[in-house]
Amino acid sequence: MDLIRQLLNVRELIQWGGIIGITGIVFVETGLFFGFFLPGDSLLVTAGILAAAGQLDIAWLLVFPTLAAIAGDQTGYAIGRTAGAALPRSRDATRVRARSGADRRPRARCRFK
C-alpha cells in the first residue's frame, strides 16, 4: 500500500527519479499493458511546472519523454501484433464470442451488402 502511495505522489516521484524516471514512466505507460495505473499526464504537467521553476532542464524534458512515448507506442504495437493473434484462438475468447453473438456478425454483414 505504501508503494502505491509513493507511485501516486508525483512531485516526490519526479524528485526521486528525475528525467530518467519520467522517461521510464512514459515508456511503461505508453507501451506496456500494466502501465495504465501510472500517473503519466499529471507527471508531465508537474514536470513542466518544475522545469518552469528551474528545477528540471526543459530541453531534456522535451526530448527524452517524447522519444520514450514513440518507443513505447512501437513496443505496444509489436506486442499486440505478436501476442494479439493468439487472443481470438484462446478458449476464453471463444466463450465470450459465443455469448455475445460475434460469430454471426460476418454472415449478417454479407447478407446486407
Tens digits of residue pLDDT in 7-54: 667 777 777 788 888 899 899 888 887 777 777 788 888 888 888 988
- Of the two residues 89 and 21, the one the predictor is more confident about is 21
pLDDT at 103: 54
Give the C-alpha separation, 17 to 35, whole Å.
17
Q: Which amino acid is at 102?
A: A
Chain mean pLDDT for the chain: 78
**Amino acid making up residue 15:** Q
Cα 82 from Cα 84, distance rounded (Å): 6
**Hey, is 55 helix, strand or coil?**
coil
Indicate whether this model's pTM tops 0.75: no
Instruction: Tell me if 61 sits within 8 A of 47, measured CB to CB.
Output: yes
